A = this chain, B = another copy of it.
Amino acid sequence: MPEGDKKMAEGLQSVILTMQIVEHVARTGKGVGVTSLATALGTSKSRIHRHLQTLVQQGYVFQHEDSERYEIGHQLVSLGQAVLDNSGLVGASRDSLLALRDRIGRSAVASQLTPEGMLVIATVRGPSPIEIGVRVGSLLSFNGSAQGKVAAAFSSEAFQQRVLTGELTAYTEHTITDPEQLAAEFAEIRARGWATAPNQAALGLNTLASPILDASGAACGTVGIVDLAQSLDAEPDPEHIAAVLDTARRISVLMGHSGALPFG
């Protein structure tokens, strides 16, 4: 061991390997073999085999009965779903999301506030043949997404400070990385109730988002529409803004908010 720290500082190896295996098997659509996993993760066949056997036994991985390849089991899906389920947001937003999509014909997306970022919890694909949108499970930053900015703008002062003083990663050259500029935009967003982020999360894309407020009046999530930057301006169509604001208010009510908007 060349540069080993005397203590263990990297975490429990079996845990890491377990999750690496699960991740690998899950991402690789079709069956994976012991050997390819072993080389991919840089460890021995027998180790992988034992871990896989245990995962099979626990139902997280499934082994094709021809005694060949390993595939991901259904428990993983169920697990991921459980996370979404016990966020009341996903249930409250599903129907409104559909209505929003139908009303203005764009991909609609709902996200939930987490301390690490905005977690995309539900999406509805737009009518466009091209697939535009965000994946469920993605995490959007507070400085580089309309969702993040709008949620931060409607969170506590302390939270905003944490965002502003934290690291502001640039995802594109249009991402806001200057704390002052971001603070100014927060104020603006708070006043009008919506945010956009043209080319800020990814070049060519834009999102229009509004906050979902809970009983305490703080943001707990966002709803919005996603489209190509060329079709969705930094100052979007007033009709679109109205539709998003309206949807946000409706979901907010379901989440226990009074419905009285603290803006425009």
Contacts and interface: CB of A to CB of B under 8 A. Distances in A.
A18 interface: yes
A95 B107 CA distance: 13
A53 interface: yes
A237 interface: no
A64 B22 CA distance: 25
A26 B64 CA distance: 27
Chain A contact residues, majority secondary structure: helix
A78 interface: yes
A190 interface: no
A8 to B, nearest CB: 9
A224 to B, nearest CB: 18
Number of copies: 2
In the A-B complex, the 9 residue pairs with the smallest Cβ-Cβ separation, listed nearest first, are A80-B80, A78-B137, A11-B54, A29-B86, A14-B14, A77-B137, A15-B54, A81-B137, A12-B54
Nearest to A98: B98
Q: What is the interface residue range for chain A against chain B?
A: 35 or more
Interface string A63-86: 011000000111111111111111
Interface stretch (A113-121, A167-175, A208-216, A240-248): A113-121
B74 A114 contact: yes
A94 interface: yes
A37 B80 CA distance: 20
A16 B64 contact: no
Nearest to A56: B11
B74 A136 contact: no
Contacts of A10: 57
Contacts of A119: 74, 77
A46 B76 CA distance: 26
A22 to B, nearest CB: 7
A50 interface: yes
B94 A83 contact: no
Contacts of A121: 77
B82 A26 contact: yes
Interface string A35-72: 00000000000000011011101101010110000001
Contact of A77 (B12, B80, B115, B117): B80
